[in-house]
Chain A
Amino acid sequence: MTRLKLYTAIYVVLFVSATVQVLVEQAGIAYETALAVILALSFVKAVIVAGYYQHLRWEPRSLTYLMGIGLLAVLALTVAATYSITP
Chain B
Amino acid sequence: MTDDPTDGPTAPTDDGAASSGETDHDAERARADGGALEVADGHAQDEHAMPPTSSLKRWFVTTNHKDVGLLYIATSLSFLMLGGVLALLMRAQLWVPRAPGTGPLSAMAYNQAVSVHGLVMVFWFLSPFAFGFANYVVPLQMGAKDLAFPRLNALSYWLYLSSGVLLFVSFFQGGTFAGGWTMYAPLNLPAFTPSVGGSAAVLALMLFVASVTVSSVNFLTTMHRMRAEGLTLRRLPLFSWTILLTVWMMLFAFAALLAALLLLSADRLLGTTYFAVNGANGALLWTHLFWFFGHPEVYIVFFPALGVMAEVFQTFTGRRIVGRKWFIAAMVLVALQSFIVWMHHMFLTSINLEIKTLFMATTIGISLPFDLMVFSLIYTMVKGKIRFKTPFLFSFGGLLLFILGGITGVFLGAVVLDYEFRGTYWVVAHFHYVMVGGVTALIGGLYYWYPKMVGRMYDEFLGKVHFALYFVGFNLLYFPMFVAWETPRRVFDYDPGMTAWHQMATVGAVVLGASFLVMIYNLVTSAYRGEVADEDPWNYVTTAEWAVSSPPPLENFPGLPSYARGTLEFLGGSSSALKTVDDDAPAAADRGTGAATDGGAPATLDGSEALAASAHTAEEVQAGEDHHASHASVWPFLVGVGALLLLLGLSGFTNATWSEGAMGTAHQASTGVGAVVTFGALVGMAREQFVGPSGPYGESWPFEKVSNMKTGMWIFLVSDVVLFGAFIGAYVFLRFSSGWIAWEPIPDNVVPGLINTYLLLTSSFTVILALEAAERESRGGVVASLVATVVLGLGFLGNKAIEWEHLFTDKGIWIDSGIRESTFFVTTGLHAAHVVVGLLITLYLILRAWNGAYLDDAAPVEHFGLYWHFVDIVWLFLFPLFYIL
Point out residues on A near B: beta carbons under 8 Å: 1-4, 7-8, 11, 14-15, 18-19, 21-22, 25, 31, 34-35, 38-39, 41-42, 45-46, 49-50, 53-55, 58-60, 62-63, 66-67, 69-71, 73-78, 80-87
A78 near B733 with CB under 8 A, answer yes
Chain B residues in 8 Å Cβ range of A15: 758, 761-762
Task: State in angstroms the CA–CA spacing of A55 and B862 once bound together.
Answer: 10
Point out residues on B near A: beta carbons under 8 Å: 1-2, 252, 256, 281, 284-285, 288-289, 292, 339-340, 343, 346, 350-352, 355, 702-706, 714-715, 717-719, 721-722, 725-726, 728-729, 732-733, 736-737, 741, 750, 754, 757-758, 761-762, 764-765, 767-769, 772, 775-776, 865-866, 869-870, 872-873, 876-877, 879-880, 884-885
**Residue from A14, A55, A77, A84 in contact with B351 in the complex, judged by beta carbons closer than 8 Å:** A84
Chain B residues in 8 Å Cβ range of A75: 725
CB distance from B759 to the nearest CB of A (A): 11
A19-B754, A46-B873, A60-B702 given; A70·B351 CB < 8 A: no
Task: State in angstroms the CA–CA spacing of A31 and B776 once bound together.
Answer: 48
**Residue from A38, A49, A53 in contact with B885 in the complex, judged by beta carbons closer than 8 Å:** A38
Task: State in angstroms the CA–CA spacing of A7 and B773 once bound together.
Answer: 13
18 contacts between A and B (CB under 8 A): A15-B761, A18-B876, A19-B754, A46-B877, A49-B764, A49-B869, A53-B872, A58-B1, A59-B706, A66-B715, A69-B252, A73-B252, A76-B340, A77-B292, A80-B355, A81-B288, A82-B733, A86-B351
A77 near B352 with CB under 8 A, answer no
Number of A-B contacts (CB under 8 A): 163
Chain B residues in 8 Å Cβ range of A85: 281, 284, 350-352, 733, 736-737
A22-B750, A67-B718 given; A84·B776 CB < 8 A: no
Chain A residues in 8 Å Cβ range of B2: 58-60
B885 near A70 with CB under 8 A, answer no
Task: State in angstroms the CA–CA spacing of A82 and B719 once bound together.
Answer: 22
State the 9 A-B residue pairs at the shortest beta-carbon distance, nearest first: A74-B725, A78-B729, A62-B702, A84-B351, A70-B721, A70-B718, A81-B288, A84-B355, A11-B765
Task: State in angstroms the CA–CA spacing of A83 and B340 once bound together.
Answer: 14
A38-B884, A49-B869, A84-B352 given; A71·B721 CB < 8 A: yes
Chain A residues in 8 Å Cβ range of B292: 77, 81
Closest to A35 in B: B885
B754 near A49 with CB under 8 A, answer no
Closest to A37 in B: B880
A60-B705, A70-B721 given; A2·B772 CB < 8 A: yes
Chain A residues in 8 Å Cβ range of B880: 21, 38-39, 41-42
A21 near B884 with CB under 8 A, answer yes
Closest to A47 in B: B873
Task: State in angstroms the CA–CA spacing of A67 and B885 once bound together.
Answer: 26
Q: Which of B1, B703, B876 has the most CB of A within 10 A?
A: B876
CB distance from A64 to the nearest CB of B (A): 10
Task: State in angstroms the CA–CA spacing of A39 and B876 once bound together.
Answer: 9
Q: Which of A1, A71, A82 has the most CB of B within 10 A?
A: A82
CB distance from A36 to the nearest CB of B (A): 11
Task: State in angstroms the CA–CA spacing of A58 and B750 once bound together.
Answer: 36
**Residue from A8, A11, A66 in contact with B714 in the complex, judged by beta carbons closer than 8 Å:** A66
Task: State in angstroms the CA–CA spacing of A42 and B750 once bound together.
Answer: 16
Task: State in angstroms the CA–CA spacing of A50 and B485 once bound together.
Answer: 53
Task: State in angstroms the CA–CA spacing of A19 and B728 once bound together.
Answer: 22
B736 near A70 with CB under 8 A, answer no
B758 near A53 with CB under 8 A, answer no
CB distance from B535 to the nearest CB of A (A): 36
Task: State in angstroms the CA–CA spacing of A17 and B256 once bound together.
Answer: 31
4 further A-B pairs in the complex, CB-CB below 8 A; given A54-B870, A66-B715, A85-B350: A18-B757, A53-B768, A53-B872, A58-B1
Task: State in angstroms the CA–CA spacing of A81 and B235 once bound together.
Answer: 39
Task: State in angstroms the CA–CA spacing of A18 and B762 once bound together.
Answer: 12
A86 near B869 with CB under 8 A, answer no
B732 near A82 with CB under 8 A, answer yes
Task: State in angstroms the CA–CA spacing of A49 and B717 once bound together.
Answer: 14
A60-B704, A63-B706, A84-B288 given; A18·B758 CB < 8 A: yes
B351 near A66 with CB under 8 A, answer no
Chain B residues in 8 Å Cβ range of A2: 772, 775-776
B869 near A63 with CB under 8 A, answer no
Task: State in angstroms the CA–CA spacing of A8 and B885 once bound together.
Answer: 29
Task: State in angstroms the CA–CA spacing of A86 and B729 once bound together.
Answer: 17
B714 near A7 with CB under 8 A, answer no
CB distance from B233 to the nearest CB of A (A): 13
Chain A residues in 8 Å Cβ range of B288: 77, 81, 84
A73-B339, A84-B288 given; A50·B879 CB < 8 A: no
A78 near B732 with CB under 8 A, answer yes
